[in-house]
């Protein structure tokens, strides 16, 4: 930890601590808008803010930026809390910008009285047309010099719902010639006659982001307010507003910006993800193909793997694209240590052990070679087994280390078998492979035969004991790296039509007892997670990730 060099955000804080900030001044927040589910991009921001909290032993608030009732819902608030908790972070206080509506309103009235804000009665088009260009000053609204009395009564009418939506807005009176377009009399309030998920019908006006965000930071005494780079030009306005509401000597929050993180072959924008749900392209926000925290959880990602991912990509000043394979790598690394090994066959080929005389026997199998404490379990063996179709060929060259006629392989945790003959249908398809086994070659029995070296080891299941299961094989949701890079094109055109394949697999009976979110390594295949729709009669498994990166060449 000591040796790790500081990232630029930590450097900013260290500088501040040298220049007069006290450790007790440090306070951070994570400020999601409850207009959708959290996605993997948010994991970066969560890891940054809560990570700083842990590093400096400072409080971190969970603040809902709920200033737009049109898109916000309680369902999203609940999901955000669940996801942050699941990632393993604890917030100091659960805060809502909507709790500050009265305070913001009172401050706005003060600003009107001080000549710092006015009601503009123009259409939004007219206001936009007067903004000017970055090199050309804007034009003042004809309403810019309304009297304080008139402004107060118009603002009051807005608040009481007497003003129709889209008619009047409250604007800060700053500078129509500022080189920063955002300083050209930005809108502070607009009329929205819609129920808010928390304040219900109380408010008919809602504050704009710029007016609410810094003020919320100020109210909560946040020391450092980290946001993504597109807010860099907002910093001047952030400071202007905070100056208006604070008194000299008040502790002032500081906005600093870091780069958004994008993930390849998907989109990280709540608005775009919402469309996938609305258009039924995916099943829900927690569809295992979604890059949402809830989708990743259902897919089998662990909190550790997501935190590791965020940590490893770090914070930066330039936006970049992280390849999905890096996220998958983080999943494999963690699951390799923690996921119990089991056997399941996804594409079955029947094997008959012709010289096997017993009805069945139960064999000892190690649960996780990476974790001694994981112990052992029993797996049933019998005369008729399934192996994978691709693990048998009648003839093959010397590099095929699986089963072929006349050659031996080991069945994992069981015996060495030799393929003797095949049974085919009239089309020539192989229906069964008849094998013999070496009764003295049982794994772990210590006999000379058990230690005999054979090239291949296959996974298998006993047919009469196997549990037919629904297995969902997921692939990338989009077939191109950056589906939303080209603004001229609709990202929905790049949906991968084969992102989900549902098959029946046959798994060992120990899996009947598995519960939602249990993770397993299906040996030689990949990592799988029990879906929420799974039952003991009909288990359902989601493939988290294959064992190796099948995309790497």
* CB 57 to ligand ATP: min, Å: 22
* Residue 228 binding: pick among Mg ion, ligand ATP, none (C-beta 5-8 Å cut-off by kind): ligand ATP
Question: Long-range contacts for 132-140 (Cβ within 8 Å, ≥24 apart)?
Answer: 132/176, 132/177, 132/181, 132/184, 134/179, 134/181, 137/176, 137/177, 138/176, 138/177, 138/184, 138/185, 139/176, 140/176
Contact 506, 348 (CB under 8 A): yes
* Closer CB to ligand ATP, 151 or 294, in the complex: 294
Catalytic pick among 261, 270, 332, 402: 270
Contact positions vs Mg ion (CB under 5 A): 33
Q: Residue 383's binding partner, choosing from ligand ATP, Mg ion, none, with beta-carbon cut-off 5 to 8 A by kind?
A: none
Q: How many CB atoms lie within 10 A of CB 382?
A: 16
Tell me, yes or no, if 55 is annotated catalytic. no
The catalytic position among 29, 33, 388, 472 is 33
Q: Which among ligand ATP, Mg ion, none contacts residue 31 (Cβ within 5 to 8 A by kind)?
A: ligand ATP
Beta carbon nearer to Mg ion, 33 or 334: 33
**For ligand ATP, which is the closer residue by CB, 266 or 443?**
266
Residue 268, binding choice from Mg ion, ligand ATP, none, Cβ under 5 to 8 Å by partner class: ligand ATP
Residues 309, 327: contact at Cβ < 8 Å? Answer: yes
The nearer residue to ligand ATP, 184 or 270, going by C-beta atoms, is: 270
Please report, as ranges, the residues that interact with ligand ATP according to CB under 6 A. 31-33, 41-42, 44-45, 65, 227-228, 260-261, 268-270
- Smallest distance from the beta carbon of 407 to ligand ATP, in angstroms? 52
Other Cβ atoms within 10 Å of 461 Cβ, number? 25
Nearest to 411 by CA among 513, 524, 519, 505: 524
Q: Pick one of ligand ATP, Mg ion, none as the site partner of residue 543 (Cβ within 5 to 8 A by kind).
A: none
Whole-angstrom distance, CA of residue 397 vs CA of residue 400: 6
| Shortest Cβ 31–ligand ATP spacing (Å) | 5
DSSP 439: G
For the bound state, the minimum distance from the C-beta of residue 39 to ligand ATP, rounded and expressed in Å, comes to 6
Residue 44 interacts with which of ligand ATP, Mg ion, none, CB < 5 to 8 Å by class: ligand ATP
Q: In the complex, which residue's CB is closest to Mg ion?
A: 33
CB 175 within 8 A of CB 136: no
Judged by CB, which is closer to ligand ATP: 13, or 268? 268
Nearer to ligand ATP, 266 or 305 (CB): 266
276, 290 Cβ separation under 8 angstroms: yes
Which of Mg ion, ligand ATP, none lies near 378, with the C-beta cut-off 5 to 8 A by kind? none
CA distance 333 to 311: 14
Annotated catalytic residue within 27, 190, 204, 260: 260
Please report how close the Cβ of residue 188 comes to Mg ion at its closest, in angstroms.
17
- Whichever of 45 and 413 has its CB closer to Mg ion, that residue is 45
- What Rg, from alpha-carbon coordinates, does the chain have? 31
Q: How far is the CB of 266 from ligand ATP (least distance, A)?
A: 11
Q: Is there a contact between 204 and 160 (Cβ–Cβ < 8 Å)?
A: yes
62 three-class SS: strand
Is-catalytic flag, 33?
Answer: yes
Which residue number has the CB closest to ligand ATP? 41
| Residue 179 C-beta: closest distance to ligand ATP, Å | 24
Long-range (24+ apart) CB contacts under 8 A made by 236-241 are 236/180, 236/182, 236/183, 237/174, 237/180, 237/182, 237/183, 237/186, 237/210, 238/210, 238/213, 238/214, 239/214, 240/172, 240/174, 240/183, 241/172, 241/210, 241/211, 241/214, 241/215
**For residues 408 and 282, what is the distance between their CA atoms, to the nearest angstrom?**
45
536, burial (CB in 10 Å: exposed 0-12, middle 13-18, buried 19+): exposed
Task: Determine the Cα–Cα distance for residues 40 and 264; give it in Å rounded to an integer.
Answer: 11
Residue 81 or 393: the one with the smaller Cβ distance to ligand ATP is 81
Query: Is 270 designated active site?
Result: yes
Which one of Mg ion, ligand ATP, none interacts with residue 523, CB within 5 to 8 A by kind?
Answer: none
Q: How far is the CB of 45 from ligand ATP (least distance, A)?
A: 4
Which residues are annotated as catalytic? 33, 260, 270
């Amino acid at each position: 930890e000591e040796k790790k060099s500081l990232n630029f955000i930590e450097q900013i804080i260290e500088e501040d601590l040298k220049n007069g900030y006290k450790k007790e001044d440090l306070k951070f927040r994570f400020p999601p808008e409850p207009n959708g589910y959290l996605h993997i991009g948010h994991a970066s921001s969560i890891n940054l803010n809560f990570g700083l909290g842990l590093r400096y032993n400072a409080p971190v608030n969970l603040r809902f930026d709920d200033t737009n009732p049109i898109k916000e819902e309680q369902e999203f608030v609940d999901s955000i809390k669940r996801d942050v908790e699941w990632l393993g972070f604890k917030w100091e206080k659960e805060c809502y910008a909507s709790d500050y509506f009265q305070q913001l309103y009172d401050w706005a009235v003060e600003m009107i009285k001080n000549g710092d804000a006015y009601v503009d009665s123009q259409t939004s088009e007219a206001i936009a047309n007067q903004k000017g260009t970055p090199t050309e000053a804007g034009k003042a609204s004809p309403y810019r010099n309304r009297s304080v009395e008139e402004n107060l009564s118009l603002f009051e009418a807005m608040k009481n719902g007497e003003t129709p939506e889209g008619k009047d807005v409250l604007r800060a009176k700053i500078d129509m010639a500022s080189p920063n377009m955002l300083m050209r009399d930005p809108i502070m309030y607009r009329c929205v006659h819609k129920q808010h998920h928390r304040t219900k019908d109380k408010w008919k006006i809602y504050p704009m982001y710029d007016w609410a965000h810094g003020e919320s930071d100020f109210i909560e005494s946040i020391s450092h307010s980290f946001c993504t780079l597109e807010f860099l030009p907002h910093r001047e306005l952030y400071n202007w507003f905070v100056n208006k509401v604070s008194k000299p000597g008040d502790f002032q929050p500081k906005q600093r910006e870091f780069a958004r993180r994008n993930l390849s072959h998907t989109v990280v924008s709540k608005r775009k993800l919402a469309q996938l749900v609305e258009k039924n392209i995916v099943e829900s926000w927690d569809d295992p193909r979604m890059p949402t925290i809830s989708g990743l959880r259902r897919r089998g990602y662990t909190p550790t793997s997501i935190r590791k991912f965020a940590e490893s990509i770090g914070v930066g000043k330039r936006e970049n694209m992280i390849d999905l394979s890096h996220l998958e790598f983080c999943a494999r690394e963690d699951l390799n240590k923690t996921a119990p090994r089991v056997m399941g066959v996804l594409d079955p080929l029947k094997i008959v052990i012709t010289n096997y005389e017993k009805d069945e026997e139960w064999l000892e199998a190690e649960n996780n070679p990476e974790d001694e404490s994981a112990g052992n379990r029993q797996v049933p063996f019998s005369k008729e087994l399934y192996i994978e179709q691709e693990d048998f060929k009648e003839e093959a060259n010397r590099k095929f280390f699986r089963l072929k006629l006349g050659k031996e392989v080991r069945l994992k945790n069981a015996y060495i078998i030799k393929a003797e003959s095949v049974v085919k249908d009239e089309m020539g398809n192989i229906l069964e492979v008849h094998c013999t086994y070496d009764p003295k070659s049982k794994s772990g029995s210590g006999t000379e035969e058990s230690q005999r070296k054979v090239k291949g080891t296959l996974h298998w299941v006993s047919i009469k004991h196997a549990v037919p299961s629904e297995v969902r094989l997921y692939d990338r949701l989009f077939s191109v790296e950056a589906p939303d890079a080209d603004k001229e094109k609709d990202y929905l055109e790049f949906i991968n039509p084969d992102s989900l394949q549902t098959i029946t697999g046959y798994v060992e009976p120990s899996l009947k007892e598995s519960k939602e979110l249990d993770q397993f390594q299906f040996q030689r295949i990949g990592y799988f997670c029990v879906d929420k729709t799974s039952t003991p009669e009909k288990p359902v498994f989601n493939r988290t990730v294959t064992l190796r990166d099948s995309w790497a060449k």
